[in-house]
């Protein structure tokens, strides 16, 4: 017997850990750092998740995640749909009718953000398409961060409610804006005019319709199953996954569909439906992974690649939201203090913006090349400070528990 056969049962040296090993290590680190952020610094856990993702993304570790491919993308979409659905169930359309200052605030802050971003980028010499694309993407507030921080701190009150409804609305604007933009890009590439116009209509109708069906199915589950049960959660997550698969088949919007389902569920039936947060523990884990995944999507290099323009974008965007919301806060029934806090709480950007940027990349490689660095950098900055901004605002308004 020679030596090589003698030790054949031993693993190869040096060991070659695969993706599973690194993912496992990432999950362990996510859990530990998230708790550390929460206990030692009173930071939202998701900031810890995001940081772990950022570190793993920056140093490779076999996680070629810059494009959020494969299994991580799947986790990403499902987790985001859970949060968007949750957000949708908090959009009470009756409130928008009862307090017209609220839709006015929503339109004002979104318009101001769009205008401010376009203006800034035009000043730096960007072309129209680039400026508008970045404007549309940065118009939205991250539903993921908002919903997660709100539930982590068990926030309840006026600021919380308004934060959620304004976030839902600017997410809708942003997604619709992006679809219009894609149609426009299609047109300027010599595409068909009707096709350009039909794209947003098709997406909105298709996503809306699928949202209605999903809402009906979820309501059926809530009436016949105990939502406290793992079984019901499995069913709900399965339905969301199925819906996401159909979205892919029909080329609808993975963002609008769950949001629409939530809104339909909230407004079509008066009977309150109270879900366990993020649809129970399983959903909670998905959400944690979402923030890890968005962390891997940016690297430390990218964080700073946008340079001064990215920082200027963050500042201008924040200023526009803060200005519009505090100007309309008093007539809408908030105090000045709450209005300022709400303006600041609208800071976060995350998953939705990433998703839109990827969509944009898929449509126009030129555009992606020109905006890519700046947008990624701005998104990464806003993802990092976003949860802190929301936490600060909720604590300052006295709406957190425990």
Partner 1 sequence: MAEANTGTAPAIDSKALGEFAKSRSLTLGVELELQIVNTHHYDLTPSAADLLRVLRQDGLPGDVKPEITSSMVEISTGICEGYDDALNQLRQLRDALCAAAARLNIGLSGGGTHPFQHWSHQKIYPAQRFHHLSEVYGYLSKQFTVFGQHVHVGCPSPDEALWLLHSMSPYIPHLIALSASSPFVQGVDTGFNSARLNSVFAFPLSGRAPFALTWKEFGEFYDKMTHTGVVESMKDFYWDIRPKPEFGTIEVRVMDTPLTLEKAAAIAAYIQSLASWLIQERPVEPAEDDYLVYTFNRFQACRFGFDGIFVDPKSGQHTTIREHILATMERIRPHAEKLGAQHALADLALDARERGSDASWIRNQFEQEHLLEEVVRRQTLRWRG
**Which residues are near partner 1 by CB under 8 A?**
89-90, 92, 94-95, 98-99, 156-158, 161, 266, 270-272, 274, 332-335, 398-399, 401
Smallest distance, partner 1 to C-beta of residue 210, A: 24
Smallest distance, partner 1 to C-beta of residue 35, A: 23
Between 60 and 100, name the residue whose CB sits nearer to partner 1.
Answer: 100
Smallest distance, partner 1 to C-beta of residue 333, A: 5
Q: What is the dihedral of CA 281, 255, 261, 106, to 10 degrees?
A: 110
Residue 207 · residue 256 · CB < 8 Å:
yes
Between 152 and 359, name the residue whose CB sits nearer to partner 1.
Answer: 152
> Which of 108, 100, 105, 96 lies closest to 339 in space, CA to CA?
105
Between 133 and 332, name the residue whose CB sits nearer to partner 1.
Answer: 332
Cα 179 to Cα 199: distance, rounded to the nearest angstrom: 7
Smallest distance, partner 1 to C-beta of residue 396, A: 13
Between 88 and 343, name the residue whose CB sits nearer to partner 1.
Answer: 88
User: Could you tell me the two tokens for 294?
Assistant: 């968005």
Residue 349 · residue 142 · CB < 8 Å:
yes
Between 274 and 308, name the residue whose CB sits nearer to partner 1.
Answer: 274
Residue 170 sits at the vertex; the CA angle it makes with 261 and 186, to the nearest 5 degrees, is 90
Sequence-distant (≥ 6) Cβ neighbours of residue 67 within 8 angstroms: 358
Which residue stretches of 251-306 are H helix? 256-268, 280-297, 300-305
Smallest distance, partner 1 to C-beta of residue 272, A: 4
Smallest distance, partner 1 to C-beta of residue 387, A: 22
Residue 402 is given by DSSP the state: -
Between 266 and 317, name the residue whose CB sits nearer to partner 1.
Answer: 266
Cα 325 to Cα 173: distance, rounded to the nearest angstrom: 17
């Amino acid at each position: 017997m020679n030596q090589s056969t003698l030790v054949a049962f031993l693993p190869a040296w040096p060991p070659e850990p695969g993706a599973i090993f690194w993912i496992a290590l990432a999950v362990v680190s996510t859990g530990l750092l998230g708790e550390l952020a929460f206990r030692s610094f009173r930071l939202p856990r998701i900031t810890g998740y995001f940081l772990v993702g950022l570190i793993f993304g920056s140093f490779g570790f076999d996680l070629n995640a810059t494009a959020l491919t494969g299994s991580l993308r799947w986790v990403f979409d499902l987790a985001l749909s859970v949060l968007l659905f949750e957000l949708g169930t908090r959009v009470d359309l009756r409130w928008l009718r009862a307090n017209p200052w609220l839709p006015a605030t929503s339109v004002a802050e979104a318009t101001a953000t769009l205008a401010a971003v376009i203006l800034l980028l035009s000043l730096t010499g960007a072309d129209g398409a680039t400026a508008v694309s970045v404007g549309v993407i940065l118009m939205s507030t991250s539903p993921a961060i908002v919903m997660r921080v709100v539930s982590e701190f068990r926030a309840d009150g006026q600021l919380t409610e308004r934060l959620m409804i304004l976030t839902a609305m600017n997410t809708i604007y942003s997604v619709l804006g992006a679809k219009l933009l894609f149609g426009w890009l299609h047109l300027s590439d010599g595409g068909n005019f009707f096709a350009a116009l039909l794209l947003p209509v098709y997406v909105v109708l298709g996503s809306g319709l699928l949202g209605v069906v999903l809402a009906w199915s979820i309501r059926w589950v809530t009436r016949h199953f105990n939502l406290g049960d793992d079984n019901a959660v499995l069913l709900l997550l399965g339905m969301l996954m199925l819906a996401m698969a159909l979205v892919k088949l029909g080329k609808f919007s993975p963002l609008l569909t769950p949001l629409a389902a939530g809104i339909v569920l909230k407004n079509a039936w008066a009977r309150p439906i109270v879900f366990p947060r993020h649809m129970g523990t399983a959903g909670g884990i998905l959400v944690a992974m979402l923030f890890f995944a968005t962390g891997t999507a940016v690297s430390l290099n990218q964080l700073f690649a946008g340079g001064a323009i990215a920082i200027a974008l963050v500042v201008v965007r924040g200023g526009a939201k803060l200005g519009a919301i505090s100007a309309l806060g008093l007539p809408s029934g908030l105090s000045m203090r709450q209005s300022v806090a709400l303006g600041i709480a609208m800071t976060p950007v995350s998953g939705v913006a990433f998703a839109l940027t990827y969509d944009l990349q898929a449509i126009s490689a030129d555009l992606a090349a020109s905006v890519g660095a700046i947008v990624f950098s701005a998104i990464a900055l806003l993802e990092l400070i976003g949860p802190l901004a929301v936490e600060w605002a909720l604590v300052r308004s006295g709406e957190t528990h425990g």
